[in-house]
Amino acid sequence: QVQLVESGGGSVQAGGSLRLSCAASGYTYNRSPSTYCMNWFRQAPGKEREGVAVIYIGGGSTVYSDSVKGRFTISQDNTKNTLFLQMSSLKPEDTAVYYCAARRCFGGADLIEHSDHYWGQGIQVTVSS
């Protein structure tokens, strides 16, 4: 089992920055964190959930969606237990509920939802113009 808890959301004006955090825990995760990929997904009102960033915990490789590339940075802390999403140059279209997700990927990092993803509860990010 894997437990994920997001924090750091809130409201910001366009052009501003926010940093989201996701604390990962659980027996399965703690045994072998380096086999996991950690994702950030988001879902805006009336839209489907989309993957915005992913990091392979074992190797540190990252992938970003075109909509956030160059503005968002995904990273992990040295313990591999906390995931971050640094969001800069925020736009109103970044307004969404952001979800942290984890799955064992063995290096195959992608932005797709998989049936074996573990999910956090989601956190609201609102960007006003």
Decide if 67 contacts 124 (C-beta within 8 A): no
Per residue in 25-51, pLDDT tens?
987 777 888 889 999 999 999 999 999
28 vs 21, more confident: 21
Write down the mean pLDDT value for the chain: 94
pLDDT at residue 65 in the model: 98
For 79-95, what is the mean pLDDT? 95
Q: Phi/psi at 43 (nearest 5 deg)? A: -135, 115
Segment among 55-59, 68-72, 98-102, 113-117 with least mean pLDDT: 55-59
Mean pLDDT of 69-84: 92
pLDDT interval class at 64 (50, 70, 90): very high
pLDDT above 80 (res 23)? yes
- For residues 22 and 40, what is the distance between their CA atoms, to the nearest angstrom? 9
Closest to 39 (Cα-Cα) out of 129, 127, 100, 87: 100
Determine what percent of the chain is predicted with pLDDT higher than 70: 100
**What average pLDDT score do residues 1-20 get?**
96
